[in-house]
Structure 1
Amino acid sequence: MALRVYILLIRTVWLIILENLAVGVMAGSTPNPWKEHVEKPTTYRLEAETVVTAGRLDSAVASSFPLFDTLSILPAFNAKTQGARSDVILRRIVTTTTIPETGEVVAVTGLLAVPASPNSTIPVVSWQHGTILSFDQVPSNMVKLFDPNYTLTDNADSLETLFNIHRFAANGFAVIAADYLGKGPLRDGRREAYVVKGATTQTCGALNTQWLHQALRSDGVPIEATAVASPFSDLDQAWRYWSGRVSFPLPDGLHRYPALAAWIAPCMLIALGSYELYYNLPELLEVSVRPQYRELARKYWNDYNISAIDSSDAPNSSNLLVESFWDGYTDDRISALQRQLMTNTAINWEYDSPIRFYYGLADEAIHPAMVMRTLSAGGKFTEGIQIARASHRVTFLAGLYGNEASLDGHDNVLSWFQSKLK
């Protein structure tokens, strides 16, 4: 979704909100697009609206909550204290965007969710989901929620978007969520641009909240506050950690750290395919992946069918890449990939407004030490909020639903953003 769509709705303050690899933006003083006439430019259109009741949202969150909080680290969801305050109107957005890396103009989709009974002005949150290992688990699919017989599932829907709609759109905010390139109903065979900085930031769908923050500031957009969960701030460092070339000491009080998640290797394959395509590095998959996994890698990049991979013979992040990958020159394309990973870092930024980094002490993809580097480099406005025993998913969920007990004495992002509106 092009950045201009967001600017159209947002006229004053911007805030960035959280995801487990992603972003969001919030603003105050936006006219209600349903109650006031707003001149619509021809750059986008809104499809027919659907209405989801507060009760339907509470029910969907109650059934999905345990899928993220598998170890019951957080208090159980309580509809009486955490429930939706209003029904929500959902509409799919259709627009076009230009891919910086290729110059192509393509049609893309996203979601707009607003409270059914809003005030005369609506603060706006732009939510960007994290890694989705399919072509279809996109935010705009949430329009299906209006059907009471439609059942949300973890492997077919963007449950992270559900939680954000529930927390924000049902509590007085408008929510905008991009579907990203290569995903959603207008995909038309287009391949994903996973962790390709220009393409993902252009669609307001950065893997990393800091990318969007930097893009907005570069365009002169003032930002009130930012919140990030489990940030992949330095892709080069992340790949070295996942490959076993970098290790970190145990966080205080822990006797062991969780093993790296099995889904990291598929993420690396998608990144390799994306960089091959958008940075013009032909056959990057073949030269980067060990010979025994090359056929599997190419097939997975083409179909995203993880169920077809034999788990007993599947690669993991430490044995996926060719042995010489980090040991010096191997291939021009591998060297170009490594340079691009370093170029796409997000740690070399001094923040000029408050930014919170929510991080888990048992995150199976991001070690806490990786967050410390970003905190120390970001300047005086950065703040780290640790979440004890939290996995990757629990870190995301805690940022939205946690309390001071689970958030090391801090409030969650909804409460924090609400305090900025007073």
Structure 2
Amino acid sequence: MPALLNHLSVPAQSEAASGGIDRQRRALVFGAAAAAGAVALGFSPAQAAVRRSSLRSGIDMSARVSAARLDAEVAKAFPLFNAPAILPAFDAASAGAQVDVDLHRIVTTTRVPETGERLKVSGLLAVPAGKTGELPLLSWQHGTILSFDQVPSNLTKLADPAYQLSAAADSLETLFNVQRFAARGYAVVAADYVGKGPFRNGRGEGYAVKGVSVQTCLDMLAAGEVAMASLGLKPSKLFLHGWSQGALNTQWLHQALRRRSRPIAATAVASPFNDLNEAWSYWAGAQSFALPAGTTSYPALPNWISLCMIVALGSYELNYRLSGLLDSAIRPEYRAMARKYWEDYKVVADPQQPFPTGSDLLVPGFFERATDDRNSAFLRHLAANRASYWRYDSPIRFHYGLADEALHPAMVYRALSAGGHQAVGIPTANASHRATFLAGLYGDAASLGGAENVPTWFGKF
């Protein structure tokens, strides 16, 4: 249990505007800039005019971070992801930031398709300091955070020279993307997601819920483009990147953008969940896979998987109005713990109460028979939300680890086999869940089976 508690994020605190954070308020950008952002996402000019109210976006907090400070923070965070170590230690001489970066918290609204709610949401825009004109745009989708506030926009806290990023309070994965992309000439936009960040207002998230996840990413991408216009910047080519939960969101986002005919230069996803029913069966111990070729063992599922399952059940209960799903799906002895965790994301060690694993969290027969109408509806929603069966018409790479404790390599093959010739798998030997992501950003041909890392690959476009 102590290992579990050490691994997890600290309980969330609402992000307050305080300390040394830059409080400058920028004028909100409406009119032509908002319409241009909507048109870029595939809406007609008439639709764009109608949607201006939902694209009222602005920068409400900013920070400039030096290249040297970015490198120092990456050097500190690198070993946390490179575990067990499959890459050399971070080397600023070869992989360092090239320019200082301006970090902006952007605020917009989004509409939850599943419920009709209109919610205020936040995100991050990171751009090379002093840059004007055209530059490539990366939409980054972050992975699972078992707290409310380890979000991309938290990086604006670096406005305080004394602030130190930590795994418990900040989005280190976003730091890596900022250092690898924004500090090398890209604009980076990242949504905090509904139910996360300073404007959650007590609302639960939409973990692995397709509609709200996609719409939030679309609206934040549009808001980022509007904010870029206010800074004298214009996106050229669009790139997508995501890890874990964010890899699923990235596949959904890619598909939504292509349905709107938005060009995408290239996409990279790491630890890419795509078939949610398969993932759930695996997490719950109802499905197993053969050892990957060339391996003699495979890591056990991590102890935080059951918490991800609880968050998913709570998200589907909330967003699909499946009242009581947490109770109908979870064994009686774990229901109180699960309900409390869904409400506050706090794990309290109780030696009198065993902590559930994924394999003993769910009621007996969950995958074999109709145990409850809500459970059946949940499984149908999972199936409807699969990202697996899509023909990609622009390049996409699926990075997967051969020792990923949360995602077996076989769980990637469905999307690869159905994706067409533009979809390519990049296996990473001995890579854990975190190391798979890190290798995609900082690895080389030796660690990536002969492939380039994501920044080098994107640079070819």
TM more than 0.5 = yes
Which one-letter code corresponds to 2:281 in the other structure?
R
Find 1:362's aligned residue among 387, 403, 406. 403
> 1:48–1:13: structure 2 CA closer, same or farther, 3 Å change rule?
closer
Give the match for residue 335 of structure 2.
Answer: 294
SS at 1:227's partner residue?
A: strand
Amino acid at match of 2:83: T
**Aligned partner letter, 1:374:** A
Specify the SS of the correspondent of 1:95.
strand
State the Cα deviation string for residues 101-159 of structure 1 (Å, max 9, x = none).
01111110001110003253111111110100000101000001132211111111110
Q: 2:367 aligns with which of 320, 326, 335?
A: 326
Deviates more, 1:40-49 or 1:394-403: 40-49
Give CA deviations for 1:12-55 in whole Å, capped at 9, x if unaligned.
899xxxxxxxxxxxxxxxxxxxxxxxx99961111142100111
Match of 1:46 among 30, 49, 59: 59
In structure 2, the residue matched to 1:110 is 123
The 1-side partners of 2:352 and 2:71 are apart by 35
SS in 2 for 1:208: helix
- Is 1:387 aligned with 2:409? no
How far did 1:385 drift? Answer: 0.6
Q: Is 1:204 aligned to residue 213 of structure 2? A: no
Distance 1:201 1:311 in 2: 41
Amino acid at match of 1:44: S
Deviations 1:202-232 (A, max 9, x none): 0118643210011101111122221111111
Distance verdict in 2 for CA 1:93–1:58, change over 3 Å: same
* Corresponding residue for residue 26 of structure 1: none
If each structure's helix is expressed as a fraction of its own residues, which one has the higher value? 2
CA–CA distance in structure 1, aligned partners of residues 85 and 35 of structure 2: 39
| Structure 1 vs Structure 2 CA RMSD | 2.3
**Match 2:85 to one of 61, 72, 75:** 72
Name the amino acid aligned to 2:457: W
Q: Which amino acid aligns with 1:316?
A: T
Distance 1:72 1:7 in 2: 47
Deviations 1:183-202 (A, max 9, x none): 11111111111111000110
Identity score, percent: 58
Contact 1:208–1:232, Cα closer than 8 Å, also in 2: no
| Structure 1 position 396 matched with structure 2 position 437 | yes
Question: Is the partner of 2:214 in helix, strand or coil?
Answer: helix
User: What is the DSSP-based 3-state SS (H/G/I as helix, E as strand, rest coil) of the residue aligned with 1:50?
Assistant: strand
1:367 Cα deviation after fit: 0.5
The SS at the match of 2:361 is coil
Question: Does 2:396 match 1:345?
Answer: no
2:249 maps to a residue whose letter is N
Q: 2:182 aligns with which of 161, 166, 169?
A: 169
Aligned length: 393
Choose 116-125 or 260-269, whichever is displaced more: 116-125
Match of 1:147 in 2: 160
Partner SS for 2:217: coil
Are residue 192 (structure 1) and residue 233 (structure 2) matched? no
**What does the per-residue CA deviation read over 1:232-265, in whole Å, with 9 as the maximum and x for residues that have no partner?**
1000000001111111110112111000011111
Give unmatched runs, 5+ long, in structure 1.
Answer: 15-38
5 Å-filtered alignment, 1:201-350, equals 201-204=214-217, 207-308=248-349, 313-350=354-391
Partner of 2:17: none
Distance of aligned partners of 1:112 and 1:238 in 2 relative to their CA distance in 1, 3 Å threshold: same
Once the two structures are TM-superposed, the CA of residue 311 in structure 1 deviates from its matched residue by 10
Alignment of 1:26-105 (within 5 A): 43-105=56-118
- AA aligned opposite 2:197: G
Taking the aligned partners of 1:72 and 1:311, their CA distance within structure 2 comes to 36
The 8 Å contact of residues 128 and 177 in structure 1, kept in 2 or not, is answered as yes
Contact 1:86/1:117 (<8 A) preserved = no
Q: Deviations over 1:279-300 (max 9, x none)?
A: 0101100010011100000000
CA distance in 2, matches of 1:331, 1:5: 49
* Structure 1 runs (4+) greater than 4 angstroms displaced: 4-14, 39-42, 307-312
TM-score by length of 2: 0.82
1:208 and 1:233 in contact (8 A); partners too: no
What are the ranges of 5 or more consecutive residues in structure 2 without an aligned counterpart?
Answer: 1-31, 43-51, 219-245
Separation in 2, partners of 1:348, 1:295: 37
> TM-score if structure 1 supplies the norm length?
0.89
Report the CA distance shift for 1:311/1:65 in structure 2 as closer, same or farther (over 3 A). Answer: farther
Q: Is the 8 A contact 1:55 1:84 kept in 2?
A: yes
Change (3 A) 1:12 1:302: closer
Output the amino acid matched with 1:329: A
Indicate the SS of the match to 1:165.
Answer: helix
Alpha-carbon distance in structure 2 between the residues aligned to 1:5 and 1:242: 45
Local SS of the residue matching 2:148: coil
2: CA distance, partners of 1:309 / 1:278: 30
